[in-house]
Amino acid sequence: TADFAGRTALVTGGASGIGRATAELLAARGARVTVLDLDPSGVDGPLHARRADVTDDASIRTAVAAAAEEMGGVDILVNNAGIGAQGTVEDNDDAQWQRVLDVNVLGIVRTSRAALPYLRASTGGAIVNTCSIAATAGLPQRALYSASKGAVLSLTLAMAADHVREGVRVNCVNPGTVDTPWIGRLLDAAPDPAAERAALAARQPTGRLVTADEVATAICYLASSAAGATTGTALAVDGGMQGL
Ligand code: NAD
């Protein structure tokens, strides 16, 4: 279906994994899409791409304005760029905390600030943030990452309240463990990648990893006019892990 025909979308971290799958699905459904990424060199097909760093306010403002000019506005913003961290509070130093919060939390703040004027001018503007089950699951060895995603969840609810009367909806998805290049890198670093993959799959009641396409489908739903009455929610795409 071409239900996004005539719509324009920005996807941060759209060169890989969940962001790439989302950008491709939005484009396949008719949207004009610009990927903003640290390394957009592999992005091709119908997608526009711009190099941008969500930790650099000037870089993001310039890229958002240029993309809006090129596409004729921004109706949809997918704040997806994110990085991981492992360990307890004793394992990560202040610089690591500041780095992950800078990308995962302030990255959303900067990109949203730059895009909100366009979203407000749109009919049916929508922001979808890629949060994580880590925001609420209390996972071991993920203190910093969980705190960053907890902040994304709270920010999503607060932004939804701030912008609902301006016609801009704000929601997030909470994926479980998703089969992306990120998880591939984690597995490659494990002593026994196959055993580690099986352990990650077994942690989810469905017994398998979530696919990037499944998360992209959920993001597209929240970005679509079909979700016009939905704002300030977190949609779990986690193989049943929530609350377990
Ligand atoms: P990925 O590493 O495959 O892709 C992330 C993309 O973000 C990369 O293209 C990278 O270049 C880009 N990026 C990183 N820092 C950036 C910056 N400062 N500015 C601009 N772009 C930047 O990762 P993924 O698995 O697709 O994860 C995407 C999002 O999904 C992240 O927010 C992550 O926290 C979240 N998430 C992932 C999983 C999972 O299991 N893979 C689970 C829950 C949530």
Q: Is residue 191 part of a domain?
A: no
Could you tell me what percent of the chain has a pLDDT over 70?
99
Q: Is residue 221 part of a domain?
A: yes
Helix axes of 17-28 and 212-223: crossing angle, nearest 10 degrees: 50
Prediction ipTM score:
0.99
Instruction: Decide if 54 contacts 100 (C-beta within 8 A).
Output: no
Q: Is residue 109 part of a domain?
A: yes
16 in the Ramachandran plot: left (φ > 0), alpha (ψ -120 to 50) or beta?
A: beta
Q: Is residue 32 part of a domain?
A: yes
Instruction: Decide if 172 contacts 230 (C-beta within 8 A).
Output: no
- pLDDT digit string, tens, across residues 2-46: 999 999 999 999 999 999 999 999 999 999 999 999 999 999 999
- pLDDT digit string, tens, across residues 156-180: 999 999 999 999 999 999 999 999 9
Domain extent at residue 125: 8-177+211-237
Q: Is residue 108 part of a domain?
A: yes
> Is there a catalytic annotation at residue 221?
no
| Residue of 22, 78, 80, 237 to test ligand 1 pocket, by largest number of atoms within 8 Å of CB | 80
Q: Is residue 2 part of a domain?
A: no
Instruction: Decide if 237 contacts 218 (C-beta within 8 A).
Output: yes
Q: Is residue 185 part of a domain?
A: no
Q: What is the CATH number of the domain that holds 89?
A: 3.40.50.720
Q: Is 14 in the pocket of ligand 1 (CB under 6 A)?
A: no
Domain tally for the chain? 1
Nearest to 37 by CA among 7, 75, 82: 82
Q: Is residue 204 part of a domain?
A: no
> How far apart are the CA of 165 and the centre of ligand 1, in A?
30
Name the closest-CA residue to atom 24, ligand 1: 17
Q: Is 239 in the pocket of ligand 1 (CB under 6 A)?
A: no
Mean pLDDT of the residues in the chain? 97
Rounded Cα gap, residues 72 and 170, in angstroms: 21
Is pLDDT above 70 for 155? Answer: yes
Given 131, 145, 171, 219, which residue is catalytic? 145
Q: Which pLDDT does position 243 carry in this prediction?
A: 59
